Amino acid sequence: DAGVIQSPRHEVTEMGQEVTLRCKPISGHNSLFWYRQTMMRGLELLIYFNNNVPIDDSGMPEDRFSAKMPNASFSTLKIQPSEPRDSAVYFCASSLTGGITEAFFGQGTRLTVV
Amino acid sequence: DQQVKQNSPSLSVQEGRISILNCDYTNSMFDYFLWYKKYPAEGPTFLISISSIKDKNEDGRFTVFLNKSAKHLSLHIVPSQPGDSAVYFCAASAGPGGGADGLTFGKGTHLIIQP
């Protein structure tokens, strides 16, 4: 398996623009997580899905952020409109529920909003 | 307020010696703990974990110790090798599915192994 795949690896956009980050989880995993890493706050959980259903989105910072998982092999994290303070590395991770298991992370998307 | 704290942003250890990374937590509901390792420009990779029913878990050169009464865990790496130089994240989960319910991370400790 290729692991969790995120795209793009890097994104530079202007303030006010819409940004869409993409994630393909490991095949067979039924939990998917979006994390954000910043210097100030470290790694924060934004939202997670179980079987394509959002379970906990309490970490989503504002209404400008939204996430979808239309099927078991694809998820998006959208920021609209983007702001400079959204600049961070965004990680997607997936895992298998039904037991104690670790989450596997993608390589991340480095977002810069100018 | 941070529920998982790694108070040492960086740690420098000589090759061959023991590296000890520390982590404290405040949420009594946490029952599963993990350590992740992260190289620059890569995502975190799982290293080792421990359930709250244990106080020690060992995997090769890596051992994690859990002290529930002190709400403290530590990662021991012995002997330390140059390839161990990375950022180490402590993480915890309170869900019934262990790590599958989303993890709370510390801010990380940058371990530097000196030759």
pLDDT tens figures, B19-69: 999 999 999 989 889 999 999 989 999 999 999 999 999 999 999 999 999
For an interface test with A, give the residue of B27, B35, B46 to mutate (most A CBs within 10 A): B46
A44 contact B CB<8A: yes
Q: What is the pLDDT of residue A1?
A: 62
Mean pLDDT, rounded, for A27-37: 93
Interface of B with A (CB under 8 A): 32, 34, 36, 41-46, 49, 51, 89, 91, 97-108
Residue B4 in tokens: 């998982």
Read off the pLDDT of residues A84-95 as tens digits, 9 standing for 90 and up.
999 999 999 998
Q: What whole-number distance in Å separates Cα of residue B92 and Cα of residue B6?
A: 12
Q: Vertex B36, ends B32 and B38: CA angle to 5°? A: 165
* Three-class DSSP category at A2: coil
What is the DSSP code string of A84-108?
GGG-EEEEEEEE--SSS---EE---
What's residue A56's pLDDT?
86
Residue A71: both structure tokens together = 């099927």
pLDDT tens-digit profile of A47-68? 999 999 998 888 898 899 999 9
Instruction: Chain B: give the shortest CA distance to residue A58, in Å.
Output: 12
Report CB contact under 8 Å: A105, B44. Answer: yes
